[in-house]
Amino acid sequence: MAENKQNGNFWLAVFSLVGTTIGAGIFSLPYAFFKSGFLIGFLEFVALVAAVLLIQLIIGEIALRTKGKKRFIGYAEQYLGYRWKLFVTISTLLGGIGVILVYIILAGNFLSFIIGKSAVSSSLIFFAVWFLFILTKPRIFGKTELIFSFSIISIIILISSFNIGYINFNNFKDFNVDNVLLPYGVILFAISGYYVIPEMEDIIGTSKRKLKKAIIFGTLIPAAVYLFFIFIVLGVSGSLTSPDAISGLAGASNSKITLLLGSFLGLLAVSEASLSYGIYIKETLWYDFKINKWLAWFLTGAAPLALFLMGARNLIMIIGIVGALFFAFHAIVVLLIHKKSKSSEIKPDYEIKLPNFVYYLVGLAAIFGALLEVWYSLSL
């Protein structure tokens, strides 16, 4: 009985990471692979998944070395000091604004296919509903994450079964070195789920030795789902591959079922992720910055809405910049915390041992990648 409970907790921890990772980012991946070429996109994907897995395993070790329940911001304060906590909090909030902006744009695209209104009008309708819902207590949504992740994977498989017979392998042959940087930020936006890892430690309970395996599974399962989705969409859509994936796929297969089912999938993924993120930002402003609850709620929605109304609607550009900058910043902070946490008296159930030069190499690579991605994205 105890062993069954431990196995159940293990898979619950795995799918908490899977559910956090699989979200809106999946829809822009086929377009990024199409623009760069499948081979270039695939090589970048493998390298970046490995980098993200390393960072997420390090966060798992930090969680095991740290007493009590803490979020990423708490780790920064404990190991690096108050100034770093403030820096991490502000950076997380700024990045969160970009993430929610992506959700507003994508949700508008998907909702427009369902209700027949323009993408801009649909985005504003989605925002209005989302803005009201983030007043709800987060417990309502936290318990549904497992259901959402299974639902999304199931719909992806269903859409793929309708279209797998239309795959043209010639669509995988082209490549364009001019767009070699395009997949970088898009992949990083899609594959990272680091902020749920401290919660995974709590879910696993006494079987802490299984945390490493849970992080590996929880990182690689979304990666496999993403590659399968990219293979189907790019293989069928070819030159019709769209930034939202679904409209291009439906156009290539001339299938209204694919358009409606895919739009529902997209709206489902974006809704779940945007609610979780919106509540997280609202509560960070409320609890950490001691801002009035109602003002915190207003600021959570006002910033991304203002950017949207000012014309920030280039989906691929925004995803690329947010993904690259977010990863660079968090990778550097995680590596700094990791070095400091080595002095903890608590012996973790696993340990990631890195030579000093690897810390500098990964940090510099993340900074350089982010700068290149920003430069490339702004030139689009």
What is the C-alpha separation between 43 and 245, in angstroms, rounded?
20
Instruction: Provide the whole-model pTM.
Output: 0.90
pLDDT one-digit tens code per residue, 65-80: 988 777 788 889 899 9
What is the C-alpha separation between 341 and 319, in angstroms, rounded?
32
What is the C-alpha separation between 94 and 114, in angstroms, rounded?
31
Task: Grade residue 140 by pLDDT with cuts at 50, 70 and 90.
Answer: very low
Cβ neighbours of residue 140 closer than 8 Å, sequence gap 6 or more: none
- DSSP code, position 181: T
What is the C-alpha separation between 328 and 135, in angstroms, rounded?
31
- Are 230 and 30 contacting, i.e. CB atoms less than 8 angstroms apart? yes
What is the C-alpha separation between 292 and 157, in angstroms, rounded?
44
Rounded to the nearest 5°, which phi and psi values hold at 239? -70, -10
pLDDT value at 99 more than 70: yes
The residue among 4 and 245 whose pLDDT is bigger is: 245
Give the CATH architecture of domain 2-378.
Up-down Bundle (1.20)
Query: Which percentage of the chain shows pLDDT scores above 90?
Result: 53
The two three-digit tokens of residue 57, written as one number: 């395993």
Q: Of 28-32, 98-102, 195-199, which gets the smallest average pLDDT?
A: 195-199
pLDDT value at 161 more than 50: yes
Q: What are the sequence ranges of the domains in the chain?
A: 2-378
**Nearest partner of 193 among 16, 11, 365, judged by Cα:** 16
